[in-house]
A = this chain, B = another copy of it.
Amino acid sequence: MKQPINLADKLGAFSEHWSPKIVGSFNGHDLLVVKLKGEFVWHSHPDTDDFFQVLKGRLRIEMRDGDVELGPGEIYVVPKGVEHRPVAEEEVEALLIEPEGTPNTGDPETAVVKERI
C-alpha cells in the first residue's frame, strides 16, 4: 500500500511561521505546507503564479489594487508579477505550490531555505 501526503500530519511536525516545508512534487513544482502569522513582506514573483489554499484560519492577501480573504477550502492564485503581501491576524495553515527553487520572498537574497519533511 502506498502512502498519501497527509497535510495535517505534515503540519503537526513543525511550528515556525513563514517557513514553507516541501511535502511533495508535481510537474517541476514543489507542494509545500506553511504556517503563517503576522504580516509578510510585500513581494512579487516575476516568473510564476503564486498558489495559496487555506487549510485552517483566515488569510488576507493584500494587493495594490484590492485584497482577497480566504478561509478553509478556499484558493487564490496571485498572478505572476503581481505585488502582494500575505497577512494572518491569527495563525493560518496553508498549502502552497511553487516551481522548484522559487524564493519565498521573491528574492534569493532574503528567501528561506525550504526543508523537505
Q: List chain A positions with a Cβ less than 8 A from chain B.
A: 1-8, 23-27, 29, 31, 48-49, 51, 55, 63, 66-71, 73-77, 80, 97, 99
What is the interface of chain A mostly: helix, strand, loop, or mixed? strand
B99 contacts A8, CB within 8 Å? no
A49 to B7, CA, bound (A): 19
A73 contacts B26, CB within 8 Å? no
Q: How far is the CB of A5 from chain B (nearest CB, A)?
A: 4
A7 to B70, CA, bound (A): 11
4 closest Cβ contacts across the A-B interface?
A4-B74, A2-B68, A5-B75, A4-B70
Can you list 25 A-B pairs with a CB-CB distance of less than 8 A?
Answer: A1-B67, A2-B76, A3-B68, A4-B68, A4-B69, A4-B70, A4-B71, A4-B75, A4-B76, A5-B74, A5-B77, A6-B73, A7-B73, A7-B74, A7-B75, A8-B73, A23-B75, A25-B49, A25-B77, A26-B49, A26-B51, A26-B97, A27-B29, A27-B48, A31-B77
A68 contacts B24, CB within 8 Å? no
Set of chain B residues within 8 Å of A23, measured between Cβ atoms: 75
